[in-house]
């Protein structure tokens, strides 16, 4: 198995999930790092073709992307090169190596202004450069071989880097309260659950577009409250606000979909059913809180 984006958030969970399933994993990265066995910049077509060909994989999970949504808006050429061109190079290399491919996609291919929850057949209409270039990447992957798959996911969290539950806990730890938008909704997904679902999708070898998210719909505010509760903190510190009020003080370059909730219709038909988002948040956040030193003493101090 070859994994692109091996040093990324999802990549960190893919290696153990694949190893557990009995696979030998080759991790590809743009530079040396944790989990990186082979180096290739996926914007470089010959280098990508050579590196993937040399690994002779049976299957490829393409998890590398330029994931900074606002960065993509400011640098559309780079977004196009990585998310569209890079996906095309990886897919063509997989096709030439005779390998199956799953390219990881995003809920940001949808406008989110009506029609959610979106099943796989819903018409994409991206409203950001990130969404548009990821959609071009999906199409390039399926054009390289119609037997390939795209797995769209959303609102990923987990691992050592920056993600929403970590931000919520650090703000609550440092300030005790925070305002979170309650008019943006989606499908929060634990990266470990996605990795497990991707392993099952690779085993099924199915073709076409799939949605792979923890089940259910959450607003950002509901998610933040669930994170607080999971850490044993009082969720009352998480106050609701609106996107308009948030953007007035924290302007962002890229537009976000209002409600981009996904439904895993095709995966469910294969028996792949990631658990409901609240269960996943509870399981992960109880460990994250300990790791961040948000323990019983802090909870008692808050109660006192
Ligand atoms: N995070 C989310 O909330 C979310 C939501 C929906 C879908 N997704 C999709 O899920 C997948 C995994 O996301 P993630 O959260 O794991 O992202 P991530 O943590 O940002 O990891 C992406 C990886 O891609 C690598 N990469 C970037 N440009 C590259 C290039 N030119 N050549 C080779 N590697 C390159 C990065 O390496 P460097 O760091 O060294 O540049 C990084 O290791 C992506 O396809 C993303 O679009 C993510």
Task: Check whether the bond before 117 is cis (ω within 30° of 0).
Answer: yes
Q: Could you tell me if residue 273 is inside a domain?
A: no
Here the CATH number for the domain that contains residue 198 is: 3.40.50.720
The CA-to-CA distance between both ends of the chain, in Å, stands at 52
Q: Which residues are catalytic?
A: 130
Question: Which tens digit of pLDDT belongs to each residue from 196-222?
Answer: 999 999 999 999 999 999 999 999 999
Question: Which tens digit of pLDDT belongs to each residue from 26-56?
Answer: 999 999 999 999 999 999 999 999 999 999 9
CA 47/CA 160 separation, integer angstroms: 29
Separation in Å, CA 263 to CA 5, 46, 67, 133, 202: 25, 37, 22, 22, 19
Q: Could you tell me if residue 179 is inside a domain?
A: no
pTM for this model (two decimals) = 0.97
* pLDDT for 304: 54
In 10 A of CB 235, how many CB atoms? 16
Q: Could you tell me if residue 200 is inside a domain?
A: yes
Contacts of 160 (CB under 8 A, 6+ apart): 12
| Token output for 52 | 């993937």
**CB of residue 156 inside a 6 A radius of ligand 1:** yes
Q: Could you tell me if residue 203 is inside a domain?
A: yes
CA 280/CA 197 separation, integer angstroms: 13
If one residue of 4, 7, 9 were mutated to test the ligand 1 pocket, choosing by the most ligand atoms within 8 A of its CB, it would be 9
- Confidence grade of residue 299 (pLDDT, cut at 50, 70, 90): low
* pLDDT for 13: 98
Q: Give the domain extent around 28.
A: 2-162+188-211
CA 200/CA 97 separation, integer angstroms: 21
* Number of domains into which the chain is organized: 1
Q: How far is the CA of 175 from the centre of ligand 1 (A)?
A: 30
CA 211/CA 262 separation, integer angstroms: 7
Q: Could you tell me if residue 117 is inside a domain?
A: yes
- Looking at residues 243-265, what average pLDDT do you find? 97
E strand residue ranges, the chain: 2-4, 26-29, 38-39, 59-62, 100-106, 149-153, 156-157, 178-181, 185-186, 189-190, 208-211, 218-219, 238-241
Residue with the nearest Cα to atom 41 of ligand 1? 30
If one residue of 156, 197, 260 were mutated to test the ligand 1 pocket, choosing by the most ligand atoms within 8 A of its CB, it would be 156
Q: How far is the CA of 97 from the centre of ligand 1 (A)?
A: 23
CA 215/CA 224 separation, integer angstroms: 17
* pLDDT for 300: 58
Question: Which tens digit of pLDDT belongs to each residue from 120-160?
Answer: 999 999 999 999 999 999 999 999 999 999 999 999 999 99
- Confidence grade of residue 241 (pLDDT, cut at 50, 70, 90): very high
Q: How far is the CA of 64 from the centre of ligand 1 (A)?
A: 4
- Confidence grade of residue 298 (pLDDT, cut at 50, 70, 90): low
**CB of residue 30 inside a 6 A radius of ligand 1:** yes
Q: Could you tell me if residue 51 is inside a domain?
A: yes
- What does the mean pLDDT of the chain come to? 96
Q: Could you tell me if residue 90 is inside a domain?
A: yes
CA 135/CA 102 separation, integer angstroms: 14
CA 98/CA 261 separation, integer angstroms: 34
CA 36/CA 54 separation, integer angstroms: 15
Q: Could you tell me if residue 80 is inside a domain?
A: yes
Which residue do the tokens 């640098």 mark?
A: 75
């Amino acid at each position: 198995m070859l994994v692109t984006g091996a040093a990324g958030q999802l990549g960190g969970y893919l290696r153990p999930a694949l190893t557990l399933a009995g696979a030998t994993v080759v991790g590809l990265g743009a530079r040396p790092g944790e989990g990186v066995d082979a180096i290739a910049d996926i914007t470089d077509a010959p280098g990508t073709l050579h590196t993937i060909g040399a690994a002779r994989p049976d299957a490829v999970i393409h998890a590398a992307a330029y994931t900074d949504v606002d960065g993509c808006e400011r640098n559309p050429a780079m977004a196009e090169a990585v998310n569209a061109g890079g996906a095309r190079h990886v897919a063509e290399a997989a096709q030439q190596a005779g390998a199956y491919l799953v390219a990881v996609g995003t809920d940001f291919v949808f406008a989110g202004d009506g029609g959610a929850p979106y099943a796989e057949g819903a018409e994409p209409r991206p409203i950001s450069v990130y969404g548009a270039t990821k959609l071009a990447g999906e199409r390039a992957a399926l054009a390289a071989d119609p037997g390939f798959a795209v797995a769209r996911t959303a609102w990923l969290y987990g691992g050592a880097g920056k993600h929403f539950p970590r931000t919520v806990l650090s703000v609550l730890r440092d300030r005790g309260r925070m305002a979170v938008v309650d008019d943006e909704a989606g499908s929060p997904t634990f990266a470990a659950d996605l990795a497990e679902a991707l392993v099952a999708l690779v085993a099924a070898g199915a073709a076409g577009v799939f949605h792979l998210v923890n089940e259910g719909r959450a607003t950002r505010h509901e998610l933040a409250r669930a994170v607080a509760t999971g850490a044993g903190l009082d969720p009352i510190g998480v106050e609701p606000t609106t996107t308009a009020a948030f953007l007035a003080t924290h302007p962002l370059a890229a537009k976000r979909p209002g409600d981009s909730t996904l439904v895993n219709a095709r995966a469910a038909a294969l028996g792949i059913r990631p658990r409901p988002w609240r269960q996943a948040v509870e399981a992960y956040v109880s460990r994250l809180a300990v790791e961040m030193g948000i323990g019983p003493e802090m909870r008692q101090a808050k109660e006192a």
